[in-house]
Amino acid sequence: MKGGIKNNGVIPSCFTSKAIEEKFSKLGVNNEISLILHLPLRYEDETYLCQISDMPGGEAVQIEGVIVSNEVMYRPKRQLVLQVEDDSGTIFIRFLNFYGSQIKAYSIGTRVRLLGAPRPGFFGTEMVHPKCHVVNEKAPLPDSLTPVYPTTAGLSQVIIRKLVRKVLIDKARIDNFSETIPVKTLKHYRLNGFMDSIMLLHQPTPDVPAHLLEERTHPAWSRIKFDELLAQQLSMRLHYQQRYKNLAPTLLDKKKLTTELLKSLPFNLTGAQEKTFSEISQDLSKPYPMQRLLQGDVGSGKTIVAALAALQAIENGYQVAFMAPTEILAEQHYQKLSNWFKSIFGSLGISIAWLSGSQKKVQRTAALSAIATGNAMLVVGTHALFQEQVEFNKLGLAVIDEQHRFGVHQRLALRMKCTKKGMVTHQLMMSATPIPRTLSMSYYADLDVSVLDEQPPGRTDVVTKLFTDTRREEVIVRIKEACCAGKQAYWVCPLIEESEVLQLKTALDTYERLSIIFADLKVGLLHGKLPPHEKSSVMDLFKQGAIQLLVATTVIEVGVDVPNASLMVIEHAERMGLSQLHQLRGRVGRGVDASVCILLYKEPLSEIARRRLRIIFEHNDGFEISRQDLLLRGPGEFLGVRQSGVPMLRFADPEKDEKLLKDARDVAEEMLCDYPKLAQLHLQRWLGEKNNYLKV
Ligand code: ADP
Ligand code: MG
């Protein structure tokens, strides 16, 4: 690096001590570039002085005057009260916390500059705890707004400002801060220069419209957000390209087994299913690893699409791992796939293996050996599939259901398992949490995405009802009537986040209570702590209609599929997240009967709970619910990506800055092609070490 500036996380010359360096590092600032990218949250205007008699009410203003009285008062509590006077009038200043040294420093006759919001007080107009410092007469005023930075305990604004200023003065000799975007591109997209934007945001002159700074819509802000989005796009696109440097088995669409399966199904594929399968099928037939996300709302029929993909791999002689995040769901897949593949596999003499964490050793050993010899061409299971001991004979495709439940690392562990030397497995991920388009463009730019945007025919929208839990009796009567008339219902127990034990107890209590109330019905209980064989026997009884009311914890949230169930009650719905509510509700509305979902909630509702319930009440479409959820929570929480290593956005918001995001995507393509060096510099500037995500 030129210019004598140390980088690479080494203490830059600007950090004056180890202690300060540590504080900055808490803020993610560890070199000069990250320091200048540490941008202000807001600004204070100290560029002019207001006359005391002219102060507008409520707004923060700066005044200057001489202290004319100084008194420590004890009523209503201990406080330091000053009176300050300028040519136009006087004002009271109150400090509720103060040091002895301040009483002295603010002695009568001292000239002070004060920044604060005046308001009517007991004695007259007053400022409480204004920013206050002693000045000489005619001390010059700053000529730019005063930035207020995000900070951490023990790191004052004064220190941050001083360091930023020092680095910005030196900028001329710092090669590191040069422009990373070609001039032509800047012009075309009407973007401001990088350094101009940085300077403006750290030291805006008073003529810069305050609201543009505050709303972060000033062109300088746009440039910074653009840069951030560009770095994200570059990183994702590089990752995407990297994929094409790896080899994967070529799995051609021989249309033999897939046609056989399609013929045996009691339904025809929807147009969306055909389209998504053909996208997947083409990927599989290429010699590099597929990494495709199949997105589709709850009930859109993702499983059959994955089953077809599995057959395409199998007819090329490769094994398939089919994975789900919970035992109940994995088991359902196992049953469903066994059913679909029974006759096909029977005639080929191959089998399906089942792997789960809780299975008996004998069964596990048998499964492992069938997997190792290649007798089992399809392996269905939970995370148990990731474990070291699982040796595939020839793994070609991994299907991961509800991918957002698995971490990036788990997904990777599976990808490495392709047993053919030097090859990577194809991956098909599925998610029923539809990701809004802007987010998917931003956080999933490294994946290919197929969308199932059509429900199988005959689905009915679920009618959602909201009841306060004081109306529980009414709900019980309804359920009783419906079940006596041959319908089936779920009763979902409240979620108790703090304690699993308590959650289990609540489920048991609910089950007991409801068993008494519904004495003439068959009531079942399903929760996560049941031994696996009991779980599956309860599910079987419910599927067969031998259980009419199924009391369950949120274990039924993912994937459970019993078309005859048309009623659902969710207790304490106000405690659940939107995607959870949507997934739970998706368990009904799968058959011919009109379905109802009753959300019981307990007053008083928090503001956010009220908004969630309103959204779930008003919308049935998963994409819309996701969009609203994203607006409510922001992308970090929505995706749960904080832990996953995907670079987070600090400044830009994919939803609000959609135009910038699209431009950044185009520019990223262009730069990777035509200006790879600048692209590298840009990535280094914005992601530094975080760029490791590339290696994932
Ligand atoms: P999800 O996308 O939520 O995983 P599933 O794959 O579990 O959905 O499918 C939901 C239900 O719809 C299943 O019972 C499945 O057999 C059925 N199904 C899937 N595709 C069709 C179709 N084209 N026509 C009718 N039913 C279908
Ligand atoms: Mg599913």
The model's pLDDT over 181-208, given as tens digits with 9 standing for 90+, comes to: 999 999 999 999 999 999 999 999 888 9
Token reading at 114 = 């004060």
- The DSSP call for residue 444 is S
Q: Which residue's CA lies nearest to atom 26 of ligand 1? A: 456
* 487 shares its domain with 612: yes
Across 137-154, average pLDDT: 90
Torsion angles phi and psi, residue 353, rounded to 5:
-105, 155
In a domain, 207, yes or no: no
* 471 shares its domain with 613: yes
Kindly list the protein residues that place their beta carbon closer than 5 angstroms to ligand 2, a single-atom ion.
559
> Are 135 and 63 within 8 A, CB to CB?
no
Closest by CA to 629, choosing from 481, 439, 442, is 439
In a domain, 341, yes or no: yes
Token reading at 351 = 């089998």
Token reading at 117 = 């919001």
Identify the helix (H) or strand (E) that includes residue 638: helix 635-639
Token reading at 187 = 């012009």
Q: What are the beta bridge partners of residue 82?
A: 70, 93
How far, in Å, CA of 114 to CA of 132, rounded?
Answer: 5
d(CA 301, ligand 1 centre) in Å: 3
If one residue of 297, 304, 428 were mutated to test the ligand 1 pocket, choosing by the most ligand atoms within 8 A of its CB, it would be 304
In a domain, 247, yes or no: no
- 696 pLDDT band, cuts 50/70/90, is very low
In a domain, 684, yes or no: no
If one residue of 277, 322, 561, 564 were mutated to test the ligand 1 pocket, choosing by the most ligand atoms within 8 A of its CB, it would be 561
Q: Quote the domain boundaries for residue 329.
A: 257-452
Q: Which residue's CA lies nearest to atom 3 of ligand 1? A: 299
Token reading at 297 = 């709302």
How far, in Å, CA of 628 to CA of 618, rounded?
Answer: 11
Please, which residues have CB within 8 angstroms of residue 495's CB and are 6 or more apart in sequence?
503, 553, 554, 572, 575, 576, 580
Q: Total domain count for the chain?
A: 3
Token reading at 586 = 């998706």
Atom of ligand 1 nearest to the CA of 590: 11
pLDDT digits (tens, 9 = 90+) for 497-529: 677 777 788 889 999 999 999 998 999 999 888
pLDDT attached to residue 65? 96
* 467 shares its domain with 614: yes
In a domain, 363, yes or no: yes
* 441 shares its domain with 501: no
d(CA 437, ligand 1 centre) in Å: 23
In a domain, 252, yes or no: no
* 391 shares its domain with 481: no
The last residue of one of the domains, among 584, 619, 654, is 619
In a domain, 2, yes or no: no
* 356 shares its domain with 498: no
The last residue of one of the domains, among 92, 108, 141, is 141
Residue 70's domain is classified under what CATH number? Answer: 2.40.50.140
Peptide bond into 289 cis (omega under 30): no
Residue 73: how many other CB atoms lie within 10 Å: 11
pLDDT attached to residue 30? 85
**If you search the block for the tokens 């995607």, which residue do you land on?**
579
Residue 97: how many other CB atoms lie within 10 Å: 9
pLDDT attached to residue 622? 86
Helical pair 257-264 and 302-314, crossing angle rounded to 10 deg: 150
Q: Quick check: 377 pLDDT over 50?
A: yes
* 308 shares its domain with 447: yes
User: Could you tell me the pTM of the whole model?
Assistant: 0.72
Q: Quick check: 547 pLDDT over 50?
A: yes
In a domain, 522, yes or no: yes
d(CA 460, ligand 1 centre) in Å: 14
> Are 255 and 425 within 8 A, CB to CB?
no
More confident residue, 625 or 409: 625
pLDDT attached to residue 464? 96
Buried b / exposed e over 31-44, threshold 16 CB at 10 Å, is bbbbbbbbbbeebb
* 379 shares its domain with 467: no
Lowest mean pLDDT among 268-277, 468-477, 683-692: 683-692
If one residue of 261, 264, 267, 455 were mutated to test the ligand 1 pocket, choosing by the most ligand atoms within 8 A of its CB, it would be 267
* 423 shares its domain with 316: yes
The last residue of one of the domains, among 557, 592, 619, is 619
Buried b / exposed e over 371-388, threshold 16 CB at 10 Å, is beebebbbbbbbbbbbee
d(CA 439, ligand 2 centre) in Å: 22
Closest by CA to 226, choosing from 581, 665, 670, is 665
Residue 601: how many other CB atoms lie within 10 Å: 20
* 506 shares its domain with 407: no
How far, in Å, CA of 363 to CA of 350, rounded?
Answer: 17
The number of residues making up the chain comes to 696
d(CA 457, ligand 1 centre) in Å: 10
Residue 405's domain is classified under what CATH number? Answer: 3.40.50.300
Atom of ligand 1 nearest to the CA of 298: 3
Residues 498, 504, 508, 514: is their CA dihedral positive or negative?
positive
How far, in Å, CA of 678 to CA of 663, rounded?
Answer: 17
Across 245-265, average pLDDT: 93
Q: Which ligand is nearest to the CA of 304?
A: 1
d(CA 334, ligand 1 centre) in Å: 15
pLDDT attached to residue 403? 72
pLDDT attached to residue 690? 59
* 425 shares its domain with 521: no
d(CA 573, ligand 2 centre) in Å: 22
Q: Quick check: 442 pLDDT over 80?
A: no
Ligand 1 is surrounded, with C-beta below 6 A, by 267, 269-270, 273, 296, 298-304, 432, 456, 559, 561, 590
* 480 shares its domain with 445: no
Token reading at 45 = 């205007």
Closest by CA to 439, choosing from 690, 197, 656, 635, is 635
Q: Which residue's CA lies nearest to atom 13 of ligand 1? A: 301
Q: Percent of the chain scored above 90 by pLDDT? A: 55
**If you search the block for the tokens 């031994």, which residue do you land on?**
531
